[in-house]
Amino acid sequence: MYQAQELIQQALIKALHQLYQITVTQVAVQKTRPEFEGDFTVVTFQFVKAAKKSPDVLAQELGDYLIQHENQIVKFNVIKGYLNLVLNQDFWFSYFSGTQNNQTIGYRSKRSDAHQIMLEYSSPNTNKPLHLGHLRNNLLGYSVAEILKANGHEVIKTNIVNDRGIHICKSMLAWQKFGNGETPASSGMKGDHLVGKYYVAFDKAYKKEIELLVNEGYSKEEAEKKSPLMLECQQMLRDWEDGKEAVVSLWKTMNAWVYEGFDKTYKTLGVDFDKIYYESNTYLLGKEVVEEGLSKKVFYKKENNSIAIDLSSEGLDEKVVLRSDGTSVYITQDLGTAIERFKAYPKLKQLIYTVGNEQDYHFKVLFKILDKLGYDWAKECYHLSYGMVELPEGKMKSREGTVVDADELLQEMFETARATTNELGKVDNFSEEELNKLYSMVSLGALKYFILKVDPKKKMLFDPKESIDFNGHTGPFIQYTHARIQSVLRRANQDIKNNHWPQTLHPLELELIKSIYDFESVVKDAGDTFNPALIANYIYELAKLFNRFYHDCSILKTEDETVKNFRLNLCRTCAQVISNAMHLLGIQVPERM
- The size of the chain, in residues, is 593
Q: Which positions ≥6 away from 250 have C-beta within 8 Å?
A: 172, 175, 176
Nearer to RNA, 166 or 276 (CB): 166
Instruction: Compute how many residues bind RNA; rule: CB under 7 A.
Output: 93
Confirm or reject binding of residue 472 to RNA (CB under 7 A): yes
Q: Does residue number 222 form part of the binding site for RNA (CB under 7 A)?
A: no
Among 473, 500, 506, 583, binds RNA (CB under 7 A): 473
By CB under 7 A, which span of 197-205, 209-217, 465-473, 493-501 interacts with RNA? 465-473
Is residue 386 within 8 A of residue 363, CB to CB? The reply is no
Beta strands, E only, 333-475? 348-356, 381-386, 389-391, 394-395, 460-461
Residue 64 vs 360, nearer CB to RNA:
360
Q: How far apart are CA 219 and CA 569, in angstroms?
A: 75
Question: What does the alpha-carbon distance between residue 122 and residue 130 come to, in Å, rounded to a whole number?
Answer: 10
Task: Name the minimum Å distance from CB 108 to RNA.
Answer: 19
**What is the number of other CB atoms lying within 10 angstroms of the CB of residue 219?**
10
Please tell me the distance from the alpha carbon of residue 34 to that of residue 90, in angstroms, as a whole number: 20
Selected from 205, 487, 500, 510, the binder of RNA by CB under 7 A is: 487
Q: Is 185 a binder of RNA (CB under 7 A)?
A: no
| Helix (H) / strand (E) containing 569 | helix 561-584
Q: How far is the CB of 280 from RNA (least distance, A)?
A: 10
Nearest one of 45, 40, 35 to 5, comparing CA atoms = 40
Q: Is 300 in the site for RNA (CB under 7 A)?
A: no
Long-range contact list for 498-506, CB < 8 A, 24+ apart?
A: 498/97, 498/100, 498/101, 498/569, 499/97, 500/562, 500/565, 500/566, 501/93, 501/562, 501/566, 502/560, 502/562, 502/563, 502/566, 504/89, 505/89, 505/92, 506/549, 506/552, 506/553
329 part of the interface to RNA, by CB under 7 A: yes
Question: Does 317 participate in binding RNA (rule CB under 7 A)?
Answer: yes
Residue 323 contacts RNA per CB under 7 A: yes
Binding range to RNA, per CB under 7 A, among 86-94, 99-107, 260-268, 413-421: 413-421
Query: In this chain, which of 420, 430, 510, 518 binds RNA, going by CB under 7 A?
Result: 420
- Nearest distance in Å: CB 124, RNA: 11
Q: Is position 5 an interface residue for RNA (rule: CB under 7 A)?
A: no
The residue (of 117 and 441) whose beta carbon lies closer to RNA is 441
Sheet holding 394-395, edge to edge: 394-395, 389-391, 460-461
User: Contact at 8 Å (CB) between 138 and 271?
Assistant: yes
CB-CB contact of 475 with 587 (8 Å):
yes
Q: Which is nearer to RNA, 175 or 283 (CB)?
A: 283
13-21, 190-198, 222-230, 482-490 -> range binding RNA (CB under 7 A): 482-490
Minimum distance from residue 579 beta carbon to RNA (Å): 14
Region near RNA per CB under 7 A, out of 7-15, 188-196, 206-214, 320-328:
320-328
What residues numbered 488-547 form the site for RNA, per CB under 7 A?
Answer: 488, 491, 533-534, 537, 540, 544, 547
The footprint of RNA on residues 234-293 (CB under 7 A) is 279, 283
Site mask, RNA, residues 342-381, x = CB under 7 A? Answer: ---------------xxxxxx-------------------
Distance CA 302, CA 316 (A): 18
Residue 124 or residue 184: which is nearer to RNA going by CB?
A: 124
| Least distance CB 23 / RNA (angstroms) | 17
Q: What is the DSSP letter of 359?
A: G
Shortest distance, position 436 Cβ to RNA, whole Å: 13
Nearer to RNA, 116 or 385 (CB): 385
Diameter of the chain by CA atoms? 93
Q: Which of the ranges 103-111, 165-173, 258-266, 335-343 carries the binding residues for RNA, by CB under 7 A? A: 165-173
* Residues 99-138 within binding reach of RNA (CB under 7 A): 125
Of 304, 313, 493, 503, the residue at the interface with RNA (CB under 7 A) is: 304
CA 334 to chain centre: 23
Least Å distance between CB 555 and RNA? 4
The SS3 of residue 320 is strand
- CB 254, CB 171: distance < 8 Å: yes
Using an 8 Å Cβ cutoff, are 389 and 462 in contact? yes
Q: Is 474 in the site for RNA (CB under 7 A)?
A: yes
Question: For RNA, which residue of 354, 421, 440, 579 counts as binding (CB under 7 A)?
Answer: 421
Q: Pick out residues in 536-575 that bind RNA (CB under 7 A).
A: 537, 540, 544, 547-548, 550-551, 553-557
Cβ closer to RNA: 183 or 547? 547
Q: Could you give phi then psi for residue 37, rounded to 5 degrees?
A: -80, 135
Could you give the dihedral angle defined by the CA atoms of residues 54, 58, 61 and 64, in that order, rounded to the nearest 10 degrees? -130
What would the x/- binding string for RNA be over residues 67 to 86, using CB under 7 A? ------------xx-x-x--
Q: What is the nearest approach in angstroms of RNA to the Cβ of residue 230?
A: 12
